[in-house]
Chain A
Amino acid sequence: MALNKKKLSALNDLQTIREMIKRHKKNDLAFAALGMFVIASLTITLIVLFLDLVLDGYPKFTLDFFGNFPSRRAARAGILSAWVGSSLVLIVTFFVAVPLGIAAGVYLEEYSKKNWFADIIEINVSNLAGVPSIIYGLLALGLFVYSFGLGQSILTAGLTLALLMLPIVIVSTREAIRAIPVHIREAAYAVGATKWQVVINHIVQYSYGGILTGVIIGMARAIGETAPLITIGALTFIAFLPPSPVTIEPPFLNLEWLNAGFTVLPIQMFNWISRPQHAFHINAAATGAVIIILTALMNGAAIKLRYNIRKKIKW
């Protein structure tokens, strides 16, 4: 009798347990649905953002828009000086930030010994990544524009964005280098390579893809960066092009463009947003569409590249 009762209660218990599990599983399902919902909303936001710009700016997707200077009349205004300016500024940024960033990353991973100096550099790099971009603008205003007397030039803008991009390049270089196993380094040392030979023949070559990913992401960020360039005083009406970097006569390269005034795509966009007339807002949307397509393409390429690297190299 007692035994029977025990069995019964065990059965009852099993029943309650099953019901409980059912309830708990509902929670699981509910949370999974919530998670999917949140992620779907984020994705939709991204799509709406993109469509909004493209649809608003659609009437301006003409060759004229890319070939015209900004103008007081919205219908005639274009982004010629802005896209040329963006390209030239990015050239400066690239040639400053990439070599410096890779060199710094290589030093921190391959050369630096564990001491207080290495710690200071390390702390500095991680702090710089967290400094708001507008602070870089103030730095550039005080240092490049006034102390160095570079003015509101392409050079100043390029250097400013290079400072912003530097931590990104350093961090991605270090991560890519850290993925190279020790035994590859040892193999190179074992045949008699010097430290620099190991770095240049092996480390840099095998981390190339990872570094490139960081460079692309950094450049994509530089394209859209607005606040620091406004801070150096770059919001001006620019209806001319800088002197061409390439000339027909020797020496074929001309560096005067570095000192020229400029505007860039996001500043042009900001300028048009700030106007009260709706016609300018269309221009702003079209410019925004150009910026977001460029950055999305670049970020997409970086994501794809990283995926390929992860798939290709298995040490």
Chain B
Amino acid sequence: MVTEKNKHNEIVKAESKDLNFFYADGTQALKKINLPVYENKITALIGPSGCGKSTFLRSFNRMHDLYPGNKYEGEIILYPDNTNILDKKVDPIEVRMRISMVFQKPNPFPKSIFENVAYGLRVRGESNKRMLDDKVEDALKGASLWNEVKDRLHDLAFNLSGGQQQRLCIARALATEPEIMLFDEPTSALDPIATVNIEELMSELKKKLSILIVTHNMQQAARISDYTAYMYLGELVEHDDTNKIFTNPSKKETEDYITGKFG
């Protein structure tokens, strides 16, 4: 078993290798993307709308498989077992059980708070009441929502505020103890206070897992991420330490985007 490390001695958790992606209508949305995701780090994807950052993120849990005609080329290798999660022989459901996702808009199920968090466990066949109770509590604590909802676990999730709903979705993704968590612009539908909560939560979460986040908000990327990748027109322009990207990018295009000359 090979464990790849970078210059800072950080472990690579997953890595895309020459990843191309084509939508059903034939448009190529990703072009030869090579990008590592480090363990216990936050990697942020930035770039203008339509640059392919969400498409890239959604490749990590094979979301594109839900719509017929979409096509991947290249690999995404998940370590330590060296599985190419894009391989046709790998069941997308298995991938989703290891890599969970939080969406742009809070999308709780119209079920109770408890059932929302427990759902991922239930599809894994967990039915022991005690076990479910414990894991739901842990996940809600992990998403710092427990104190707010512990007395009304069986209320409908729709009754929560937007920020609470998004933390519930994080708890739902967390309950199954994933190795990587994907965030697709998780705060774009939230107010500033809820945004701060989620950002703090992510910094807490990275102690346990690896995070890949798409964000529209450059300040957010600068605040929370360890690594930043700038994408443009389906290509990865630059990938580096967040500090380096925001203070001294090596490419002119990155600098133009960061400084707002373009975008």
Contacts and interface: CB of A to CB of B under 8 A. Distances in A.
Touch A–B, Cβ below 8 Å? yes
Given A113-B68, A206-B110, A190 B63 contact: yes
A191 B120 contact: yes
Interface residues of A, number: 20
A29 interface: no
Contacts of A202: 109
Q: Is the interface of A mostly helix, strand, loop or mixed?
A: helix
A183 interface: yes
Contact of A183 (B107, B119, B124): B107
Contacts of A313: 110
A214 to B, nearest CB: 20
B15 to A, nearest CB: 21
Interface in A174-230: 181, 183-194, 197, 201-202, 206
Given A113-B68, A186-B63, A191 B173 contact: yes
Contacts of A206: 110
Nearest to A183: B107
B123 A194 contact: yes
Interface in B137-153: none
B117 to A, nearest CB: 10
A187 B96 contact: no
23 contacts: A113-B68, A183-B105, A184-B109, A186-B63, A186-B66, A187-B103, A187-B107, A187-B169, A187-B172, A188-B119, A190-B61, A190-B63, A191-B100, A191-B119, A191-B120, A191-B123, A191-B172, A191-B176, A192-B93, A192-B94, A192-B176, A194-B93, A197-B123
Interface of B: 61, 63, 66, 68, 93-94, 96-97, 100-101, 103, 105, 107-110, 119-120, 122-124, 169, 172-173, 176
Given A189-B63, A190-B101, A193-B123, 20 more contacts: A184-B109, A185-B66, A187-B107, A187-B108, A187-B169, A187-B172, A189-B66, A189-B96, A190-B103, A191-B97, A191-B100, A191-B173, A191-B176, A192-B120, A192-B123, A192-B124, A192-B176, A197-B123, A201-B119, A201-B122
